[in-house]
A and B are shown apart, each in its own frame.
Chain A
Amino acid sequence: MEFPILTVMILLPLISGAALLLWPGDEDGRANSARWLALGTTLIELVLGIALWLGFDTGTSAFQYRETVPLFEPYFSWALGIDGISLVLIALSVFLMPICILASWQSVKTRVPEYMAAFMLMEALMIGVFAATDLFLFYVMFEGGLIPMYLIIGIWGGTNRIYASYKFFLYTLLGSVLMLLAMMYMVSAAETTDIPTLMAYDFDPQVQVWLWLAFFASFAVKMPMWPVHTWLPDAHVQAPTAGSVILAGVLLKMGGYGFIRFSLPMFPDASVELMWLVFGLSMVAVVYTSLVALAQNDMKKLIAYSSVAHMAFVTVGLFGFNQQALEGSIVVMLSHGLVSGALFLCVGVVYDRLHTREISAYGGVANIMPRYAIFFMLFTMASVGLPGTSGFVGEFLVMLGAFKTSTWAVFVVCTGIILGAAYMLFLYRRVVFGTVTSEAVAGMRDLSVREYICLVPIAVATLWMGIAPNVFIDPVRAPVADIVARLNAAGAPQQEVAGSADDVSAPLAGAANLPARVLGAVAEATE
Chain B
Amino acid sequence: MNELVMQPLSQSLSIAAPELTLALGLMSLLMLGVFRGDRSLVGLTWGAVIIYIIAGLSLVNDPASRFAFDGLYVADNFSAFLKVIIFAAAGVCSVIALPYLKRARSDKFEYPVIIMLAALGMSMMVSAADLLSLYVGLELQSLAAYVLAAFHRNEARSSEAGLKYFVLGALASGILLYGISLVYGFSGTTSFAVLGPLLGAGSSIGLTIGLVFILAGLAFKVSAVPFHMWTPDVYQGAPTPVAAFFASAPKAAAMGLLVRVSMEAFGGIADQWQQVVAFAAVASMILGAVGAIGQTSIKRLLAYSSINNIGFALIGLASATADGISGVLFYMAVYLAMTIGAFLVVLSLRDADGRLLDEMNALSGLSRSRPGMALALAIFMFSLAGIPPLLGFWPKFSVFNAAIASEHYVLAVIGVVTSVVGAFYYLRVVKLAYFDEPLGVLAPQESRINGAVMAVAAIFCSPIGMLAIGPIVRAAQSASVSMLSF
Q: Is A162 an interface residue (CB 8 A)?
A: yes
Q: Is A150 an interface residue (CB 8 A)?
A: yes
Q: How far is the CA of A72 from the CA of B382 in the complex (A)?
A: 20
Q: Is A310 an interface residue (CB 8 A)?
A: no
Chain B contacts for A155, CB-based, 8 A: 434-435
Contact with A along B126-168 (1 / 0, CB 8 A): 0000000000000000000000000000000000000000000
Q: How far is the CA of A169 from the CA of B386 in the complex (A)?
A: 13
Q: Known contacts being A150-B427, A161-B435, A169-B427, is A177 close to B397, with CB within 8 Å?
A: no
Q: How far is the CB of B400 from chain A (nearest CB, A)?
A: 6
Q: Known contacts being A72-B466, A73-B470, is A181 close to B388, with CB within 8 Å?
A: no
Q: Known contacts being A75-B394, A154-B434, is A188 close to B423, with CB within 8 Å?
A: no
- Stretch of A138-146, A277-285, A391-399, A496-504 at the chain-chain interface: A138-146
Q: Which of B420, B469, B474 contacts A173 (CB 8 A)?
A: B420
Chain B contacts for A174, CB-based, 8 A: 417, 420
Q: How far is the CA of A111 from the CA of B409 in the complex (A)?
A: 44
Q: Known contacts being A74-B470, A75-B473, is A177 close to B387, with CB within 8 Å?
A: no
Contact between B400 and A180, CB atoms less than 8 A apart: yes
Q: How far is the CA of A161 from the CA of B417 in the complex (A)?
A: 24
Contact between B416 and A180, CB atoms less than 8 A apart: yes
Nearest residue (CB) in B for A139 is B388
DSSP majority for the A interface?
helix
Q: How far is the CB of B141 from chain A (nearest CB, A)?
A: 33
Contact between B431 and A162, CB atoms less than 8 A apart: yes
Nearest residue (CB) in B for A78 is B466
Contact between B394 and A173, CB atoms less than 8 A apart: no
Contact between B469 and A188, CB atoms less than 8 A apart: no
Chain A contacts for B412, CB-based, 8 A: 181, 184
Q: How far is the CA of A136 from the CA of B463 in the complex (A)?
A: 14
Contact between A170 and B423, CB atoms less than 8 A apart: yes
Nearest residue (CB) in A for B404 is A184
Contact with B along A61-91 (1 / 0, CB 8 A): 0000000000111110000000000000000
Q: Which of B389, B420, B423, B467 contacts A140 (CB 8 A)?
A: B389
Q: Is B413 an interface residue (CB 8 A)?
A: yes
Q: How far is the CA of A258 from the CA of B286 in the complex (A)?
A: 30
Contact with A along B178-206 (1 / 0, CB 8 A): 00000000000000000000000000000
Q: Is B405 an interface residue (CB 8 A)?
A: yes
Q: Is A472 an interface residue (CB 8 A)?
A: no
Chain A contacts for B417, CB-based, 8 A: 174, 177
Nearest residue (CB) in A for B386 is A177
Q: Which of A74, A165, A170 contacts B473 (CB 8 A)?
A: A74
Q: Is A461 an interface residue (CB 8 A)?
A: no
Q: Is A525 an interface residue (CB 8 A)?
A: yes
Q: Known contacts being A173-B420, A177-B420, A185-B404, is A146 close to B387, with CB within 8 Å?
A: yes
Nearest residue (CB) in B for A181 is B412
Contact with B along A170-198 (1 / 0, CB 8 A): 10011001101100110010000000000
Nearest residue (CB) in A for B409 is A525
Q: Is A166 an interface residue (CB 8 A)?
A: yes
Chain B contacts for A178, CB-based, 8 A: 413, 416
Nearest residue (CB) in A for B388 is A140
Q: Is B230 an interface residue (CB 8 A)?
A: no
Contact with A along B455-486 (1 / 0, CB 8 A): 00000000100110110011001000000000
Contact between B469 and A75, CB atoms less than 8 A apart: yes
Q: Is A425 an interface residue (CB 8 A)?
A: no
Chain A contacts for B416, CB-based, 8 A: 177-178, 180-181
Contacts A/B (CB < 8 Å), 29 sampled: A71-B467, A72-B469, A72-B470, A75-B398, A75-B469, A114-B367, A140-B389, A141-B389, A144-B388, A147-B382, A147-B387, A150-B427, A155-B434, A155-B435, A162-B431, A165-B435, A166-B424, A166-B431, A170-B423, A170-B427, A173-B387, A174-B417, A177-B419, A178-B413, A180-B397, A181-B413, A181-B416, A184-B397, A188-B404
Q: Which residues of A contact B (CB under 8 A)?
A: 71-75, 111, 114, 136, 139-141, 143-144, 146-147, 150-151, 154-155, 161-162, 165-166, 169-170, 173-174, 177-178, 180-181, 184-185, 188, 525
